[in-house]
Amino acid sequence: METVSFADIAIVACGTMSLELNCLREEGFLDTPKILYTEPGLHQVVQELEHQLVKQIVKAKEQYDKVIVVYGGKFCYVNIDDPLRKMETIVAEQGEGVSRVDATHCMDMLASEVERDEIGKEMAGGEPVWWMTPGWIKYRQKVFKGWDKALANENFPRHSGGAIVLDGVGYMDTYMAETPEDFLEYVDWMGITLTPYTVTLDRFKGLLLDEARRLSS
């Protein structure tokens, strides 16, 4: 894959993606000097999401002229009070030098819709799937804040193909081996199967590279 430096680019991301971003940093792909996170699970509280996102972008721009926002465009920010206000609106308001990865949500950063369709056919026979990333497991208490068993029963069982975790960092193997009771409790709470699926971080790398090139052009 083409080598592009992120040395003069800051990253502002949802905390849910910290596992993948830290992995890319550790392997040397992502040489960014700064990564700032918003709290995981803020898609449920969009006003707070916007507040934290703007705050972190402003903080990043105090030191760097280029900022890549790691947030989905379609599903991460849904403002029912102002439906015309979108994630791209918020990002555009931050001025020049701020760009967002071209993905609909965190799952889409790891596997495209076409790839997810193929995985769904392979793993769930084409049945509806509840897609997740490792961050949805690690930060469960924040991502599903306020969800009780009744709300879980209302949402998860309609996904007859179960839940599939797109794991590009090997998190699930360790999680299941070291905390099997927690894993089984999670499965019981969801009321559907919970299956890890190994992916590479190539798509995520490509999305980051696209924005780095765009900001440098």
Provide the residue range defining the domain that includes 95.
9-107+201-216
Q: Is residue 66 part of a domain?
A: yes
Report, as an integer, the average pLDDT of 33-49.
Answer: 94
For the four alpha carbons of 136, 112, 205 and 79, in that order, the dihedral sign comes to negative
Q: State how far the alpha carbon of 171 is from the alpha carbons of 126, 140, 155, in Å.
A: 25, 14, 25
Assess whether 102 and 205 both reside in one domain. yes
Assess whether 156 and 68 both reside in one domain. no
Does the pLDDT value for residue 1 go beyond 90? no
pLDDT above 70 as % of the chain: 99
Assess whether 143 and 120 both reside in one domain. yes
Assess whether 78 and 99 both reside in one domain. yes
Assess whether 60 and 167 both reside in one domain. no
Assess whether 163 and 139 both reside in one domain. yes
Assess whether 174 and 208 both reside in one domain. no
Q: What is the pLDDT of residues 158-198, one digit of tens each?
A: 999 999 999 999 999 999 999 999 999 999 999 999 999 99
Assess whether 183 and 207 both reside in one domain. no
Query: Any idea what DSSP says for residue 148?
Result: -
Q: Is residue 210 part of a domain?
A: yes
Assess whether 153 and 174 both reside in one domain. yes
**pTM of the entire structure?**
0.94
Q: Is residue 2 part of a domain?
A: no
Structurally, the chain folds into a number of domains equal to 2
The CATH code of the domain that includes 210 is: 3.40.50
Q: What is the pLDDT of residues 114-164, one digit of tens each?
A: 999 999 999 999 999 999 999 999 999 999 999 999 999 999 999 999 999
